[in-house]
Amino acid sequence: MLQLPVYLDYNSTTPCDPRVVEAMLPYFTKRFGNAASRSHALGWEAEEAVELAREQVAGLVGAEPKEIIFTSGATEGDNLAIKGVFDMYASKGNHIITVVTEHKAVLDTCHHLEKSGAEVTWLQVDKDGLINLADLEAAIRPATVLIAIMYANNEIGVIQPIREISAIARRHGILFFTDATQAVGKIPVDVNADGIDLMAFSAHKLYGPKGIGALYVRRKGPRVRLTAQMDGGGHERGMRSGTLNVPAIVGLGMACELCRLEMAADTLRISPLRDRLEERLLALDGARINGSRQYRLPMVTNISFAGVDGDALLAGLGKNVALSSGSACTSASMEPSYVLKALGLDDNLAHSSLRLGLGRFTTAEEVEYAIGQIGKMVGQLRANSPSKLA
């Protein structure tokens, strides 16, 4: 039976897989020990659970367990990676290269560092949302210490040419960091094959709990060093002090293990549903896809409906279909999406856009219902618009 509202905002967050919840529950009650308490059985048990989770997380992304640092989420991971590199490698230089369509956690971190003396190059993207590799290489200076470019965009799903980017970074002896929050658990990500030096991601984007994430920090070829941004106790190889959130870490580990085992099958099932949704919605007059259709995630689409007010569209759908117009981190703003503006959309078209994200629990019945609801609401809004009445 169809349950309302139909959820199509998987880029914002995912429901916890019941198997993840089941794995976490004992660590709230019976196995409640502190993983840093190494003098008794409850502490040993908690530490063992944390290290198993570290292996599971590493296994999903091709890393070594010791290269995984647990954080509170991708925002903290972004901050630790970028600020940690900037501080640690200050003697080498103060220049960072990033992209105008990055998540706010990267953009705002770079803006913060500019106040501390960093010089930041903000690369533009083309109409498909992709960077120009020649522009990237041309931006490199002797003082460049970090290239920070996201793996897949949170609003349009566009996947950047990660291996080509990392090859440029390696050629110039520069560290490469990627916010892979939207990619890990959805598409194959391998830190060694991809040439990544630092990578942040979050559990709640891959069917795990909120408030937990991981930062991959390469240990060799090159060995990456970071200045800690939080002091006290020296947890997580001295990079991230604080009592470990054992239940959430167990949840992240289980979520990563399930993605490792089921990601390919999930994609095979979800991708045709996304294509069906897209095909039907593009049949509406004035509908267009934003971003590359070739280089993108298989479970998300971003569509503009010309002549339709996006806020009114979302308000009309809100009770029956849960979706968004862009990043949940900036959705409170009335400004049009800066990502869509970077692609060249004008304010009106950017305001008329919906981001539709599908996931593990999306059904064909839900997709058909959403198609009908969106089509109906677009038709009503167009019929009532001043331009239509004139």
Give the residue numbers annotated as catalytic, written as ranges. 329
Q: Classify the C-alpha dihedral 20-26-32-36 as positive or negative.
A: negative
Place of tokens 């039907």: 280
DSSP state of 184: B
DSSP state of 65: G
DSSP state of 80: H
Q: What is the number of other CB atoms lying within 10 angstroms of the CB of residue 209?
A: 21
Residue 366 parent element (H or E):
helix 364-384
Residues contacting 249, CB < 8 A, separation 6+: 49, 50, 53, 54, 70, 212
Q: What is the number of other CB atoms lying within 10 angstroms of the CB of residue 307?
A: 16
How far is 253 from 249, CA to CA, in rounded Å?
Answer: 6
Query: Could you tell me whether strands 95-99 and 144-148 are parallel, antiparallel, or unpaired per DSSP bridges?
Result: parallel
Are 149 and 81 within 8 A, CB to CB? Answer: no
